A and B are shown apart, each in its own frame.
Chain A
Amino acid sequence: MTVAELERVEQLERSWAEAPGFLSWLTTVDHKRIGVRYLVTAFVFFLIGGAEAALMRAQLARPDSDLVSPGTYDQLFSMHGVTMIFLFATPMLFGFGNYLVPLQIGARDMAFPRLNALSYWVFVGAGVFLYSGLALGNAPNAGWFNYVPLSESSFSSGPNIDFYGLGLMFLGIATTAGAVNFIVTILKLRAPGMSIDRIPIFCWALLATSFSVVFAIPSLTAACGMLELERLYGFHFFDVSGGGQPLLWQHLFWIFGHPDVYIIFLPAVGIVGSIVPVFSRRSLVAYPWVVLSTVLIGMLGFGVWVHHMFAVGLPQVSLAFIAAASMTIAIPSGIQVFAWLATMLGGTPFVTTSFLYVLGFLVVFVIGGITGVMFASVPFDQQTTDSYFVVAHFHYVLVGGAVFPMIAGLYYWFPKITGRLLDERIGKASFWLVFVGFNVTFFPMHIAGLLGMPRRVYTYPSDMGWGIYNLISSLGAVVLTLGVLAVGVNVVLTLVRGRGAGSDPWGGNTLEWTVPSPPPPYNFAVIPVVTGRDPAWDAAARERDHSRLQGGGELVLAEGHETVSTSPLAGDLEGPIEMPGESWWPLALATSLALVFVGIISALHPVTIAGCLLVAVSIVGWNWPRRPAE
């Protein structure tokens, strides 16, 4: 290290260090700390949602069981769905995105660090809000898609559904803010030279996902807003007696709901696309095709919502269009799968736990994809709607398409986040437990569904002949649980006594592997200049970065709290931009928003009004100029 380099690094350390202690835990805007928080919080919700599933499997293990009451069972399956979709899957993937996007594009933070902190606090607030319903014994109980008229006040009079409607509107703020942050970060904060055809595949996936979020969440917000106006204030949108249309709820919900499947699936695809090249020791095959497929899936996702409504009696013509559009999605999905397979075959793969989970993903997801194509066919769909075949299908798609890649991502990036390598023996054992447990749990559901077992029944008579399949499913769930626990045990053991990882244990191709593990608060001592698609494999370019740090100090930006902005397409340098530091306002704003929703659900108008005023105060405080007027 030269003297100049030492001085510059020390200066960066000083200007990017956050105050130590508990207070900084509340005020941090560091994308890495927020990202880890997202990951941990989402994992907690995963355990809660898993516990709900375990209770349901225990109840269904034998016929005529009375372990839980029908009312409790309704709350269990509703909260299981809401938790896994809204509080686990998206936040978990946003956690990976938060941690990795700035590191992969060579930036020092997200474009809007305080908005990032706000997203996290709102997510936690909305999660607590939704679960306070369960704590009060009044959890949402009309399923995760909450169809009217069941969810209207005439049939669901308690506050149960209000926790759903208001909670999801509240959560929508977090998801939308997070998505806007990802888009702007990826468009504007890339390292110089990272033109649009050099963006890492994971960042492309998050970009496509985030655009889907921006256009999909309003539909959920509109649906929930109308429902709550109807339930709480006597408006009419869905109830026939007031001239409303019940089917409007289904349309609005699925205009959100189907894109949401891809909002969950695409980032997971990005994880797979990041891992396959590294463990195959070669660049991703057909990068432009994989990118275009990713974008296309995000767009097609908006054109297929009616395939959730094939059985409600819509005109045949519209069904035919939607069926064709739904089948079209198999094309870009197929391109991606073949690109990964070609990368593996064209390279020299070495099988780590992470890679095993990717292989598991391919098997499980392709099975889920095949049943998906079956559903795109209207006559088949009408026969199996609301049966356990559907339950089997979407667990293959969502667990296969999202949870397997998440665990793969965990094994892949854990050394970067913590500086320690997860144990491979426990890892491989956990893979087989998860893989076998998953298939034993969910494959029999296909058969139970074809035999006529409807979803969302709290029990069934013994003479239906579904008992054996349900028993197998419940036993599989035990194995699956052991597998998930093994992952958790591995994490804990590694944190206590894991092997050091170094900055690049896998020989990774993206920029996060060029910085220490865990990365320093400023990420990069010098902003890298990118010359290719696999920047970490470009030793000459990284050597040039380092000599800038030692020599002239260009793009070190040690004087301020800065990163650089570049042009959205070419990635040409525009100049340094100032980044905000720690702040109380995100937490203040999230708390004020929570007050608003608490006030609405408890009908305490002074609380709502106070909340609104505090929201205004927080926004003003947040935007108060940091420097005095010139």
Chain B
Amino acid sequence: MTAVTYTEASAASRSPAWWGTLLLIATEATLFALLLVSYFYERFEAVGPWPPDGTAEPKLLVPAVMTALLMASSVPAYLADSSIRRGEVDRLRVYLASTLVLGAAFLGLQAWEYSDELDVLRPQTDAYGSLFYTVTGLHGAHVIVGLFLLGWVLAWALRGRYGADRHLAVEISSLYWHFVHVVWLFVFLSLYLSPRL
């Protein structure tokens, strides 16, 4: 019988599911990039001040806290992934729960900020308002999806589903969460900081 002459991969590379998630992130990141490009396009083509007359620049305090929360939340998301690679199930649960709490706090603050902001600016007010709520709203929707993902993984982690050789769902939800976090940095820079520059 003939020996098989293929070579084996030296180190196990990423799974199809990881590549699929990465491409999903690539297409979503493009969507956000285009929305931010639209924001700057409308801003630089607009006649007069930006934000338009009668609208104050967005307040910074709450969004800054939100940014800190989301940046912090990426740390336990990373640790969750690396701990389950070593088979540490208890740590996985703790880290997942921490990410969930920080993400939920972000979302709570965003809701609070909206309720404040909506008194003076509505999506229907003008192009500025439309872009502001569309971009932040779409990001918020991604946070919600990310929280569902993490909640799902946590639920299965509590039932002892994951281990050192079985952690794809953790890896993928962690990757997605990092994406949600990084997108927010661009949103924060563009919508909140840049009008003050």
Contact = CB atoms under 8 A, between A and B. Distances in A.
Interface of A: 111-112, 115, 176, 179-181, 183-184, 187-189, 192-193, 214-215, 217-219, 221-222, 225-226, 229-230, 233-237, 242-245, 247-248, 251-252, 255, 529, 531, 544, 547-548, 551-552, 554-555, 565-568, 570, 572-575, 577, 616, 620, 623, 625, 629-630
28 contacts: A180-B20, A184-B16, A187-B19, A189-B16, A192-B6, A215-B30, A217-B27, A218-B28, A219-B34, A226-B130, A233-B123, A235-B123, A235-B124, A235-B134, A237-B127, A242-B130, A243-B42, A245-B41, A245-B42, A248-B41, A252-B34, A529-B4, A544-B5, A555-B4, A565-B15, A565-B16, A620-B152, A623-B152
Contacts of A620: 152
Given A226-B38, A567-B9, A625 B161 contact: yes
B189 interface: no
A584 to B, nearest CB: 20
B160 A629 contact: yes
Contacts of B7: 192-193, 570, 572-573
Given A180-B20, A630-B161, A548 B1 contact: yes
A529 to B, nearest CB: 5
Contacts of B19: 111, 183-184, 187-188
Interface residues of B, number: 47
B13 A568 contact: yes
B116 interface: no
B57 interface: no
Given A188-B16, A572-B7, 4 more contacts: A236-B130, A243-B128, A554-B4, A629-B159
A218 B38 contact: no
A243 B121 CA distance: 14
B140 to A, nearest CB: 15
Nearest to B124: A234
Given A214-B27, A235-B123, A235-B124, A577 B134 contact: no
A111 B20 contact: yes
A218 B37 CA distance: 13
A111 B16 CA distance: 7
Contacts of A573: 6-9
B52 interface: yes
B63 interface: no
A551 B35 CA distance: 58
Interface string B116-135: 00000001101111110010
Contact of B131 (A187, A225, A237): A237
A218 B10 CA distance: 36
Contacts of B115: none
Nearest to B6: A192
A214 B23 contact: yes
Contacts of A248: 38, 41-42
A215 B32 CA distance: 11
B163 interface: yes
B9 A237 contact: no
Contacts of A180: 20, 23-24, 27
A230 B38 CA distance: 15
B46 A112 contact: no
A243 B27 contact: no
A567 B6 contact: no
A629 B159 CA distance: 7
Contacts of B1: 547-548, 551-552
B57 to A, nearest CB: 16
A434 to B, nearest CB: 36
A252 B38 contact: yes
B156 interface: yes
A544 B2 contact: yes
A529 B123 CA distance: 58
Contacts of A630: 160-161, 163, 166
B56 interface: no
